[in-house]
């Protein structure tokens, strides 16, 4: 299936999944850097779709991506967001990152956080705004951590 068909399939598949949760709403889909961006607007079921610690949201995203891979779609990377949960979380994490960076600048000590891959990416991107700060990730799997240090270190 080509890129256009991949996007159409993902949109239909998510809409069908939502009916399982009793949600009948429009699903908006765009493509950015070969990633299918799927946005579900706020509904009464938003908290159920997000789940505790966004586990349900991540599971839905994984499910859509896996089905696309199994169908040998041209696009298989998916970013699913419900009620702008991920966007708001990214903004909060970026603000927290700026606080950590100021702490590193003030104390000169490095700052280490245990974050998932998506959150580490946000920290790396936010830190790129600072020429005197460097970030790197170390470890494997669930033990992977991000470290924020002064560039001179």
State the pLDDT at residue 118: 84
Q: Which domain holds residue 98?
A: 88-150
Q: Is the pLDDT of residue 153 over 60?
A: no
Percent of the chain with pLDDT over 70: 99
Cα angle at 18 between 12 and 24, to 5 degrees? 90
State the pLDDT at residue 75: 87
Does 114 lie in the same domain as 63?
Answer: no
Does 58 lie in the same domain as 18?
Answer: yes
Number of domains the chain is built from: 2
Alpha-carbon radius of gyration of the chain: 18
H or E segment and range at residue 81: strand 77-82
Does 93 lie in the same domain as 25?
Answer: no
Strand partners for 79: 37
State the pLDDT at residue 49: 92
Q: Is the pLDDT of residue 137 over 60?
A: yes
Q: Write the CATH number for 108.
A: 3.30.1370.50
pLDDT tens digits for range 59-111: 999 999 999 999 999 888 999 999 999 999 999 999 999 999 999 999 999 99
Domain boundary among 68, 83, 98: 83
A 10 A CB-CB count for 20 gives 7
Asked whether the CA dihedral 94, 153, 131, 103 is positive or negative, the reply is positive
What DSSP string runs through 21-40?
A: TT-----EEEEETTEEEEEE
Indicate the pTM of the whole model.
0.76
Domain boundary among 83, 100, 116: 83
State the pLDDT at residue 89: 93
Domain boundary among 83, 111, 138: 83
Q: Is the pLDDT of residue 5 over 80?
A: yes
- Of the candidates 89, 94, 139, which has an alpha carbon nearest to the alpha carbon of residue 114? 139
pLDDT tens digits for range 26-67: 899 999 889 999 999 999 989 999 999 899 999 999 999 999
User: What mean pLDDT value characterizes the chain?
Assistant: 92
Pairing of strands 35-40, 77-82: parallel
């Amino acid at each position: 299936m080509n890129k256009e068909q991949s996007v159409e399939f993902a949109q239909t598949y998510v809409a069908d999944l939502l009916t399982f949760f009793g949600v009948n709403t429009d699903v908006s889909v765009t493509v950015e850097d070969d990633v299918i961006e799927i946005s579900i607007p706020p509904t009464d079921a938003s908290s159920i779709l997000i789940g505790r610690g966004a586990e349900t949201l991540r599971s839905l995203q994984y499910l859509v991506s896996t089905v696309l891979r199994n169908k040998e779609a041209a696009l298989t990377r998916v970013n699913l967001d419900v009620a702008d949960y991920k966007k708001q979380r990214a903004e909060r994490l970026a603000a927290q990152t700026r606080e950590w960076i100021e702490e590193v600048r003030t104390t000169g000590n490095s700052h280490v956080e245990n974050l998932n891959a998506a959150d580490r990416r946000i920290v790396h991107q936010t830190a790129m705004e600072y020429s005197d700060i460097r970030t790197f990730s170390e470890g494997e799997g669930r033990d992977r951590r991000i470290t924020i240090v002064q560039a001179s270190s």
